Structure 1
Amino acid sequence: MPNIRLAIVGLGKIARDQHLGAIAATDGIDLVAVASRNASLENIHCFPDIDALLASDVDVDAVSLCTPPQGRFEQARAALMAGKHVMLEKPPGATIAEVFALEALARKQGVSLFATWHSREAAAVEPARRLLAERRIQSVEVEWKEDVRHWHPGQAWIWEPGGLGVFDPGINALSIVTRIMPESFHLVSSELSFPANRAAPIAADLEFQTASGTPIKAAFDWRQTGPQTWDIRVSTQEGDVVLTHGGSRLIVNGEAQIVEEDREYRSLYKHFVDLVSSKRSDTDFSPLVHVADAFMLGRRNVVESFED
């Protein structure tokens, strides 16, 4: 099969930090075009938006959408209607209904749709999943705290409806927990802290429960400075299983098992190549469902204003 000819839509921070290098390191895929209002790349076909890209004579097989979730539905729909395979940066959309609509459209068009969760590709996630399948889980605690000014400098869209606020990183934790837990879980309470001048939360405290009654607690916060915290602690009758550093490190019963470098986006693009080659889709929207539930059950607390 010839290499997939890929276009990136949205050449912002995440595309430059993660996507470009991962594409260059992945066999079977070539970046041939970019659609971005404010950025371009040398020696690559560049367009102001996806409509101009799709109307051009540049041959593109697939589109990777790296734009904010608000407005992404129309971009994804246009690409799917044009017969292009589509890869969605997380979160896959701004609402639950729209991502299921895209899934149905991709099926109808006979093309691949990939809803990516980069944190699931961290080195310790699959080993933790296999380990927990054999253990008796007692409780789970998630602590996901980082500095929004460092990771999203000047990005106003994250504070608008559909931008998710602190759930932009928090959904990464939920993508891991939904992967490693042997049974499903649902939300039972949600406390959301909204800055007085923002439309999206800056912190969240959540409580979930599995079907068998196992408690899961999660604390997300965007106000942490200094060292960042991305930890998931699973207490089992056989001892503790801890994922740290966003899922790249695994500690079992106090002993380090896995410590590896970041390969998340390279793994995503490798999987995308496999999906397109085999004409399959990968559309697990469960992390976004949990975020939607957090807003539905969320008790709103107003905290001090946030200035970037």
Structure 2
Amino acid sequence: MPVKLAIVGVGKIARDQHLPVIAASPDFELAAAASRSTGVEGVKSFTSLAELLDACPEVEAVSLCTPPVGRAQDARLAISRGVHVLLEKPPAATLSEVDDLARRAQAAGVTLFASWHSRFAPAVPAAKAWLQGRTVRAARITWKEDVRVWHPGQEWIFAPGGMGVFDPGVNALSIVTEILPETFALRRGRLVFPSNRQAPIAAELAFEDARGAPIAAELDFLHTGDQRWDIEVETDGGRLVLSKGGSEMTVDGTAATAGAHGPHAEYAPLYAHFARLIAERRSDVDVAPFRHVADAFMIGERVEGPAFAF
């Protein structure tokens, strides 16, 4: 029988990705929704998760798609009711919250999935396999997009905890922490904060892996024109490029095979993974991408930039 699932936070990402994938999934059945501003047609809708769980005891799992600040409170409530939890990225507002949720889920015997959707992009598994056994000499992340296109009017993204440019930038970090054969750490960073905002709108980061190979990242939330989500890796066996957020892969300029493409190419396998975790009573709570973001805020130089308005 499909797992009866509720979705909390019916915003852009929920409508663009979660709801269509859930509707097509053989593993899940959408049973209810909770949102402060809007519901989901055809299912019972509530204004809070607490109301939802009180009224819908049949709900077995929830997908939390609210902004990260405050999400841990809903996750704790769901776990306390024995409900499995999928956390949109980033998983919470702080690393401490995620650690607490992982302990609670283990004690309650429920699944907690800190999801990183970009890891499920079509070419990411092939890139990871190709890099195994090769020595990385250098890598570069170029993640440039227009916040007015992808987060129109979403003021929370520049509030404390909203992460600013790291909201998309953590997608790149989720890929490189998955595919690179060596761990890496931040050495220095430069974060540009609009004069009227509390989260960065651009960042330059310099990492170094365990063998000393440099890994540079350039993140920009004001990039117009063609959007860029690219990762380039120079190795002793050739040059690998992941483009379009991990959808396409080339090696030395030649296209390599990748998985199925489409508007839901990342979220369909993500939900399939969630279903396997539930069936096996396991959790998946990798905070490596989130830790790199925290490191950037900890040691990165803060530079003030022009004021920003949507």
**Range into which the TM-score falls when normalised by the shorter chain:** over 0.9
2:43 matches 1:44: yes
Aligned to 2:255: 256
SS in 1 for 2:257: strand
Structure 2: gaps (5+ residues): none
Q: What are the residue-to-residue correspondences of 1:201-280 with 2, within 5 Å?
A: 201-258=200-257, 260-262=260-262, 263-280=265-282
For 2:179 and 2:81, locate their aligned partners in 1 and report how far apart those are by CA, in whole Å.
Answer: 36
* C-alpha deviation, 1:26, in angstroms: 1.4
* C-alpha deviation, 1:137, in angstroms: 1.2
SS in 1 for 2:173: helix
* C-alpha deviation, 1:258, in angstroms: 3.4
Residues matched between the structures, number: 307
For 2:298 and 2:169, locate their aligned partners in 1 and report how far apart those are by CA, in whole Å.
Answer: 16
For 2:289 and 2:169, locate their aligned partners in 1 and report how far apart those are by CA, in whole Å.
Answer: 9
* C-alpha deviation, 1:133, in angstroms: 0.8
For 2:275 and 2:238, locate their aligned partners in 1 and report how far apart those are by CA, in whole Å.
Answer: 38
The one-letter amino acid paired with 1:50 is L
Aligned to 1:177: 176
Q: What are the residue-to-residue correspondences of 1:72-221 with 2, within 5 Å?
A: 72-221=71-220
SS in 2 for 1:205: strand
* C-alpha deviation, 1:58, in angstroms: 4.4
For 1:119 and 1:218, locate their aligned partners in 2 and report how far apart those are by CA, in whole Å.
Answer: 16
The one-letter amino acid paired with 2:302 is R
For 1:41 and 1:237, locate their aligned partners in 2 and report how far apart those are by CA, in whole Å.
Answer: 51
Q: Map Cα deviations across residues 143-196 of structure 1 (whole Å, 9 max, x no partner).
A: 000000000000011001110000000000000000001011111001000000
The one-letter amino acid paired with 1:43 is G
* C-alpha deviation, 1:237, in angstroms: 2.0
For 2:255 and 2:134, locate their aligned partners in 1 and report how far apart those are by CA, in whole Å.
Answer: 18
For 2:98 and 2:158, locate their aligned partners in 1 and report how far apart those are by CA, in whole Å.
Answer: 21
For 2:40 and 2:231, locate their aligned partners in 1 and report how far apart those are by CA, in whole Å.
Answer: 38
For 1:38 and 1:231, locate their aligned partners in 2 and report how far apart those are by CA, in whole Å.
Answer: 35
Aligned to 1:307: 309
The one-letter amino acid paired with 2:300 is G
* C-alpha deviation, 1:40, in angstroms: 1.2
The one-letter amino acid paired with 2:143 is W
> What TM-score, normalized by structure 2, do the two folds share?
0.97
> What TM-score, normalized by structure 1, do the two folds share?
0.98
Aligned to 1:9: 8
Q: Map Cα deviations across residues 210-239 of structure 1 (whole Å, 9 max, x no partner).
A: 111111000000010111000000011222
User: CA 1:202–1:305 in structure 2 vs 1: closer, same or farther (change >3 Å)?
Assistant: same
* C-alpha deviation, 1:268, in angstroms: 0.7
- Greater alpha carbon shift after TM alignment, 276-285 vs 55-64: 55-64
Aligned to 2:300: 298
Residues 195, 306 of structure 1: 8 Å contact kept: yes
* C-alpha deviation, 1:198, in angstroms: 0.5
Q: Percent identity?
A: 52
The one-letter amino acid paired with 2:3 is I
